[in-house]
Structure 1
Amino acid sequence: MTGRLSLVLTTLLACSALSLVNAQYQARRLFIEIERAQAVTRQLEIEWSQLQLDQSTLGKHARIEANARRDLNMVPLTPARTQYITGEAK
């Protein structure tokens, strides 16, 4: 009887030890996955900041006006160049 009890306890102890090893392995794997996700998050935050800076730079009125003058040959509107269209009354 004592031999059988020892065998059962030894088997339970071995299963418990294997379960502990498996749990530690899973915890390490999940920790590595979290670290990778955090690194990706940091990189995306950096890219987002750069895109916001680019958007604010590209959207400035002076830059838009300079591009319109250079690329589209546009000139500012003056009262001398303004034409008013009036509708005829019926």
Structure 2
Amino acid sequence: MARLNVLLLAIVIACALGVVTSQHKARKLFVELQKEKDRAQQMDVEWGQLQLEQGTLAMPARVENLASRQLQMQMPQAGQIRYIRIGSGAAVQP
């Protein structure tokens, strides 16, 4: 009977250690999950900021201003514009 009690006590202790270990692992994984969720949210915020910045940088008025100021580009005169029809290969003047 004493051997059975010792065996049962050892099994109970082993089970308790298993429960404690699994709870500790679950808590560590939960903390890691929360960190990854926070990181994903930060990336979403950064993505929104980058999209806003890209929209601002690509505004037609800004692009035209930079083209004329930095690259010395200008709008072509009406006589310099040529329209090309796809398929015929012939240039057509307006």
TM-score range for the pair, normalised by the shorter chain length: 0.7 to 0.9
Map 1:38-77; keep pairs closer than 5 Å.
38-77=37-76
Deviations 1:47-81 (A, max 9, x none): 1001111111111211110100110111211225x
* Equivalent residue, structure 2, for 1:30: 29
**AA paired with 1:42?**
Q
Give ranges in structure 2 of 5+ residues lacking alignment: 83-94
Q: Percent identity?
A: 35
Could you state the TM-score of these two structures normalised by the residue count of structure 2? Answer: 0.81
Give ranges in structure 1 of 5+ residues lacking alignment: 85-90
Runs of 4+ in 1 over 6 A off after TM superposition: none
* Equivalent residue, structure 1, for 2:11: 12
Q: In the comparison of the two structures, how many residue pairs are matched?
A: 84
**AA paired with 1:17?**
A
Q: Give the CA deviation at 1:24.
A: 0.7
More strand by share: 2
Which has the higher relative contact order, 1 or 2, with Cα contacts under 8 A spaced 6 or more apart?
2
Q: Give the CA deviation at 1:83.
A: 7.5
SS at match of 1:69: helix
Q: C-alpha separation between the residues in 2 aligned to 1:83 and 1:61?
A: 20
**AA paired with 2:18?**
S
Q: C-alpha separation between the residues in 1 aligned to 2:81 and 2:2?
A: 110
More helix by share: 1
SS at match of 1:5: helix
Measured on the aligned residues, the alpha-carbon RMSD in Å equals 1.9
